[in-house]
Structure 1
Amino acid sequence: MSRVYNFAAGPGMLPLPVLEEVAANFVDYHGEGMSLIEMSHRGAIFTDIIEETRMLVRELLAVPDTHEILFLQGGGHTQFAMVPLNLLGAAAEASYIVNGTWSKKAATEAGKFCHVNVINVNPSLGVPDASDIIVANDAAYLYYCQNETVNGLEFNFIPKAPDCVPLVADVSSNFMSRTVDWKRHSLVFAGAQKNFGPAGLTIVIVRKNLLGLTTESCPTMLDYAVHAKAGSMYNTPPTFAIWVSNLVCKWIQAQGGVEKMDQLARTRSGLIYGEIDSSDGFYINNIPKRARSRMNVVFTLEESALTDLFVAEASKAGLKNLKGHRSVGGLRASLYNAMPEQGAKALAEFMRDFMKRHG
């Protein structure tokens, strides 16, 4: 079997040992005579899996007992509505730092439920200066997207809000790639399909004292407290996705944990940024270094007409899905946890060779 290097923004690569474990036990789950996806979600086998997965997440990210871990569905788009529905309470306003595609979508959705104080970021900065983040004491919460996949931006600091204002983070694309300061974060959420598992699972980690703030008009399925009380089994959970995420957690643990994932992410992205910065303008990334993403390296070619050729030749070389997001064009290399260092090295070598031939 020949495996390619998949640089897609999501769904992203999964660790090969995880895929092999799934393949070996998919039809007959550990001798049970049936697949896990055929089993009752309330049976002992899956109950053990979901509880173990919750425990693994708590251990890997050092999640304190003050926070509840929920396994939900609906992806980030559903969280864009669930966050205001659950956290607004009696407040009339929430603050959103908008510095890219996903934070803008989240702010737009929240605008259906409350007044949104938008903290816009100068595009030349990528992420705001800490002094530019001004949040009222009566804001329901401060929201930011830790890593913008489309724009190739990542916060290298935690935004400061008044102590009385909860901090919410969309960590969909850098989940399990860096530690989380739980004293500062009241809620984080992530779609699994980049760093944590297959599409279909959304994880929410929320401070317990924020549960139950919804109004009676909040749909039951969008109430965090309902899911917390039901142990994430108010409805049938995505059993397959949770199983795979369980295996991903064990793989991360075996590699050395989240701190090791961060170290590897910096190494991988450093290889690609190194090629860009040393290309004398052949490859272009105008993002300030302090705002550059470890997960999604975006860049363009000095001669944009070469972009399609770059993508085609890279694909033939086993370097897949390097085309940039349709809204911005250019190129994008997504370097999630499962991407081996050799994959980043292969891309860096290809970039060097491509520049020699077309520069």
Structure 2
Amino acid sequence: MDESNFINFGAGPTQLPKQVLEEIQSEMLSYENIGISIVEMSHRSTEYGELNKRAQETLRSLLNIPSNYKVLFVPGGGQGAFSAIPINLIGKTGSADYLVTGTWSKIAAEEAKKYGNINIAVKLDTTGSIPDPKTWKLDPNASYVFYCDNDTIDGVEFPFVPDTNNAPLVVDMCSNLLTKQIDVSKFGVIFAATQKNLGTAGIAVIIIRDDLLGYAAGYCPSILNFTLLNQYNSILNTPPIFPIYVTSKIVEWVKQNGGLVTMESQCREKSNLIYQVIDNLKDFYYTPVDKNVRSRINIPFRIGGSDGDEELEKIFLEEAKKENMIDLKGHRLVGGIRVSLYNAITIENVKKLVAFMIYFKDKYGNQ
């Protein structure tokens, strides 16, 4: 196997653009020719200050972030944000609404219960759908309304921005930030772990409207306190410099390669290619997700029927790996197969997988 040509369809950490990896490689021994590596550089140096600023400014430009929003780099990734959000926001009224439409919003809600009264405004008996907003039971006194825009495990993505009756909207965009154009002004907080479309693991990017600062609980750890982090420009302590450096490279790569318009178009094209195979060969491939909320980013499916043939799925994974396509195994909670289509996955990568899926069905579909 030629390891240089592997296609990583993993849900995160995942494939990064080759151009970005080559740039990182070229700078590893001496960042911008200063004589030391990025992983040796002081967070108090002029060079890091410029890197921090450039990463924020490029992200602001890509997303057209209004001036009354702050951009923070916060340790702990998505899981850390699940704690940081209620600790920083729930003190406004003591309660919050959570739209539980998948595994990750359920985990976020369970974490938030440690810090205040959590109203489960939407609760699903089974995954794969989003209930009609008319059935939601929102609390008019909620400090915020939380939802996960795209669930990497269940393959459900919101096709609309929820109406919260003026309560600040907090959205988990860990897996689909930078894959589409969004109106930042519709949200109170947007957060995303970086190991999907933004780089490598280690931090979460938090985009927060400035009127939501100042509500952190007294017990909030300083390192998760959004107000403090904003005051120190995300350099309260020694920040995870390398993940922030990779994020700066990724956002610049997105900007150079057509921005969000191009990323959104390619994302739609890539996911459509996979769904066409699933729908055309539905006697062999099965996805439990309603068509109107199918994720463009993470596509879970079973092989051999709705319950899946685990032995056949194992063979699928083994044969795909022989073709240099890896990390297609479904999440341990649901099993099956999962294809993740982050921005660094190319259309050519997807066409190779599509051809393999058709070949696999022809080989094993009649057994």
TM-score, normalised with respect to structure 1: 0.97
Q: How many residues align?
A: 358
Deviations 1:9-47 (CA, angstroms, capped at 9, x unpaired): 000111100000000110122221110111111111111
- For 1:333 and 1:185, how far apart are their aligned partners in 2? 28
Q: Which runs of 4+ in 1 moved over 4 A?
A: none
Match of 1:178 in 2: 180
Match of 2:211 in 1: 209
In the alignment, is residue 17 of structure 1 matched against residue 19 of structure 2? Answer: yes
Contact 2:15 2:344 in 1 (8 A): yes
Match of 1:321 in 2: 327
- Choose the corresponding residue for 2:262, options 260, 263, 272: 260
- Choose the corresponding residue for 1:111, options 106, 110, 113: 113
- For 2:130 and 2:289, how far apart are their aligned partners in 1? 10
- For 1:133 and 1:195, how far apart are their aligned partners in 2? 30
Q: How does 1:297-308 map to 2 (within 5 A)?
A: 297-302=299-304, 304=309, 305-308=311-314
Q: CA deviation at 1:122?
A: 5.2
Equivalent AA in structure 2 for residue 133 of structure 1: W
- For 1:16 and 1:314, how far apart are their aligned partners in 2? 21
- For 1:112 and 1:128, how far apart are their aligned partners in 2? 26
Contact 1:133 1:159 in 2 (8 A): no
Contact 2:128 2:288 in 1 (8 A): no
Equivalent AA in structure 2 for residue 281 of structure 1: D
Q: CA deviation at 1:355?
A: 0.3
- For 2:185 and 2:252, how far apart are their aligned partners in 1? 25
- For 1:113 and 1:124, how far apart are their aligned partners in 2? 26
Q: How does 1:261-280 map to 2 (within 5 A)?
A: 261-280=263-282
In the alignment, is residue 65 of structure 1 matched against residue 62 of structure 2? Answer: no
In the alignment, is residue 123 of structure 1 matched against residue 129 of structure 2? Answer: no
- For 1:36 and 1:280, how far apart are their aligned partners in 2? 49
Equivalent AA in structure 2 for residue 315 of structure 1: K
Deviations 1:136-192 (CA, angstroms, capped at 9, x unpaired): 2211110000110011111110111011x1000000011111122222200011100
- Over aligned residues, Cα RMSD in angstroms? 1.2
Q: CA deviation at 1:125?
A: 5.4
Match of 1:157 in 2: 160
Match of 1:343 in 2: 349
Q: Which moved more, 1:178-187 or 1:262-271?
A: 178-187
Match of 1:356 in 2: 362
Any stretches of 5+ residues in structure 2 without a counterpart?
none
- For 1:231 and 1:214, how far apart are their aligned partners in 2? 17
Match of 1:221 in 2: 223
Deviations 1:210-250 (CA, angstroms, capped at 9, x unpaired): 00112322222221000000000001111111111111111
Match of 2:76 in 1: 74
- For 1:282 and 1:125, how far apart are their aligned partners in 2? 19
Deviations 1:261-296 (CA, angstroms, capped at 9, x unpaired): 111111111111110000041000121111111110
- For 1:29 and 1:220, how far apart are their aligned partners in 2? 30
Contact 1:133 1:160 in 2 (8 A): no
Once the two structures are aligned, what percentage of the paired residues are identical?
38
Match of 1:27 in 2: 29
Q: How does 1:30-45 map to 2 (within 5 A)?
A: 30-45=32-47
Q: How does 1:224-239 map to 2 (within 5 A)?
A: 224-239=226-241
In the alignment, is residue 92 of structure 1 matched against residue 78 of structure 2? Answer: no
Look up the SS of the partner of 2:99 in the other structure: strand
Look up the SS of the partner of 2:91 in the other structure: coil
Match of 1:56 in 2: 58
Contact 1:97 1:121 in 2 (8 A): no
- For 1:321 and 1:79, how far apart are their aligned partners in 2? 25
Match of 1:196 in 2: 198
Contact 2:119 2:139 in 1 (8 A): no
Q: 1:358 to 1:275 in 2, by over 3 A?
A: same
Look up the SS of the partner of 1:150 in the other structure: coil
Match of 1:248 in 2: 250
- For 2:209 and 2:79, how far apart are their aligned partners in 1? 21
Any stretches of 5+ residues in structure 1 without a counterpart?
none
Contact 2:66 2:185 in 1 (8 A): no
Q: CA deviation at 1:130?
A: 2.2
Deviations 1:87-136 (CA, angstroms, capped at 9, x unpaired): 11241321000011110010001111112111213536512222223322
